[in-house]
């Protein structure tokens, strides 16, 4: 198996990771995270079809299909697990192939090896998401783990092809700002995950204000307590609407900051001829993401729009990773 096969395998894993992230968002937004309340199977079975009797009993116990368990939700959850399992096997194969002599001579195998470690931890987070009953911090970390996997695979995919050396003065000046842009975007994705996992997406249903105010009543203390159960404070009390408002409002403010910064970063990158295509991609995806974010409020969190907003975040992250790679590309063996 040669270098071409390895490159194609990396590309397939990258595309599949994006699919897994989108399907994971669909699972979360359809409240299907506990569609199969055990792991890795569904009521100990391979598929929901084999667990039909257990699912029917759970539906009857919860008083109908509007609870956390239903046949459809079980399939939503298990399809996500199947895809994640295939992805794990692909990344295992990539990490093994990376140590073959003809590949190791061209590029370091340590990134694929680290990627395998991330995926193993991500699998553990997937298990804890179910066994800990959707504890917000675990769900958020699971989302970030998926995004980290995508970012590392995009970097790995980028180094499979030759890149022109861009160590000119303009690129050198832009490099630290691109890194900062990536850090800000990751922080904003984390905030978005915190909004989603706490079901705070519709805590404010007006724009651009929140409850008709620029600074509504908010409870940051309880809203951003990390170690707690879903819908509760760390003390076990019901999480207040003010806490949900604080979560939502913070994400909005973060969106404004990140949008302005990335727009400026892309404008600077447009001045570097070799970066214009990437810069235009960042601007286009940033615009799309803002439109989808606003549409989430205007449509009352329509499922297709909300899933699209998650997909847009993943694509924008990918564009920022490529921009950073392009700015530090020297030789493929050193990246």
Q: Does the pLDDT value for residue 318 go beyond 80?
A: yes
Answer yes or no: are the C-beta atoms of 185 and 286 closer than 8 Å. Answer: no
pLDDT of residue 304: 97
pLDDT in tens, 13-68: 999 999 999 999 999 999 999 999 999 999 999 999 999 999 999 999 998 888 89
For residue 40, whether the previous peptide bond is cis, meaning omega lies within 30 degrees of 0, is yes
pLDDT of residue 333: 38
Q: How far, in Å, CA of 46 to CA of 67, rounded?
A: 22
Q: Does the pLDDT value for residue 260 go beyond 60?
A: yes
In sequence order, what DSSP letters do the residues of 120-173 get, joined into one string? HHHHHHHHHHHHTTS-HHHHHHHHHHHHHHHHHHHHHHHTTS------SHHHHH
pLDDT in tens, 65-120: 888 999 999 999 999 999 999 999 999 999 999 999 888 888 889 999 999 999 99
pLDDT of residue 66: 87
Answer yes or no: are the C-beta atoms of 307 and 25 closer than 8 Å. Answer: yes
Averaged pLDDT score across all residues of the chain: 93
Per-residue pLDDT, averaged over 293-322, amounts to: 97
Q: How far, in Å, CA of 314 to CA of 22, rounded?
A: 9
Higher per-residue pLDDT: 255 or 169: 255
Give residue 104's Cα distance to chain centre.
30
DSSP 8-state class, residue 226:
S
Please give the C-alpha separations between residue 286 and each of 207, 274, 321, in angstroms, as whole numbers.
19, 20, 14
User: For a pLDDT cut of 90, what percent of the chain falls above it?
Assistant: 86
pLDDT in tens, 125-135: 999 999 998 99
pLDDT of residue 236: 95
Cα R_g (the chain), whole angstroms: 21
Q: How far, in Å, CA of 99 to CA of 244, rounded?
A: 48
Question: 45 forms bridges with which residues in the sheet?
Answer: 42
pLDDT of residue 185: 98
Answer yes or no: are the C-beta atoms of 35 and 75 closer than 8 Å. Answer: yes
Per-residue pLDDT, averaged over 121-149, amounts to: 95
Q: Does the pLDDT value for residue 335 go beyond 50?
A: no
pLDDT in tens, 180-214: 999 999 999 999 999 999 999 999 999 999 999 99
User: For a pLDDT cut of 70, what percent of the chain falls above it?
Assistant: 96
Active site residues: 77
Q: How far, in Å, CA of 137 to CA of 147, rounded?
A: 15
Q: How far, in Å, CA of 325 to CA of 298, rounded?
A: 36
Per-residue pLDDT, averaged over 244-262, amounts to: 98
């Amino acid at each position: 198996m040669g270098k071409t096969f390895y490159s194609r395998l990396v590309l397939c894993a990258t595309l599949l990771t994006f699919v897994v992230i989108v399907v994971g968002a669909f699972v979360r937004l359809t409240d299907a995270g506990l569609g199969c309340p055990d792991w890795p199977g569904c009521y100990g079975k391979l598929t929901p079809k084999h667990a039909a009797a257990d699912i029917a009993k759970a539906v009857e116990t919860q008083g109908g299909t509007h609870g956390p368990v239903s046949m459809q939700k079980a399939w939503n959850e298990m399809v996500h697990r199947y895809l994640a399992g295939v992805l794990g096997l692909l990344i295992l194969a990539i990490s093994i192939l990376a140590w073959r002599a003809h590949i190791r001579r061209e590029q370091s195998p340590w990134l694929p090896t680290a990627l395998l470690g991330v995926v193993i931890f991500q699998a553990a987070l997937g298990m804890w998401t179910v066994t800990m009953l959707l504890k917000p911090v675990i769900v958020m970390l699971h989302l970030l783990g998926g995004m980290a996997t995508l970012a590392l695979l995009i970097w790995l995919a980028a180094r499979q092809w030759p890149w022109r050396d861009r160590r000119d003065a303009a690129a050198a000046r832009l490099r630290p700002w691109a890194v900062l842009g990536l850090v800000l975007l990751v922080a904003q994705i984390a905030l978005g995950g915190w909004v989603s996992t706490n079901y705070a997406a519709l805590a404010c249903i007006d724009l651009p204000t929140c409850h008709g105010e620029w600074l509504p009543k908010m409870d940051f203390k309880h809203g951003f307590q990390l170690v707690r159960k879903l819908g509760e404070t760390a003390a076990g009390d019901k999480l207040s609407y003010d806490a949900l408002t604080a979560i939502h409002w913070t994400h909005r403010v973060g969106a404004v900051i990140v949008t302005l910064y990335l727009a400026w970063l892309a404008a600077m990158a447009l001045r570097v001829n070799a970066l214009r295509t990437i810069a235009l991609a960042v601007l286009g995806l940033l615009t799309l993401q803002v439109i989808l974010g606003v549409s989430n409020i205007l449509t009352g969190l329509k499922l297709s729009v909300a899933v699209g907003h998650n997909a847009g975040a993943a694509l924008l992250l990918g564009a920022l990773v490529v921009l950073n790679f392009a700015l530090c590309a020297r030789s493929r063996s050193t990246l």
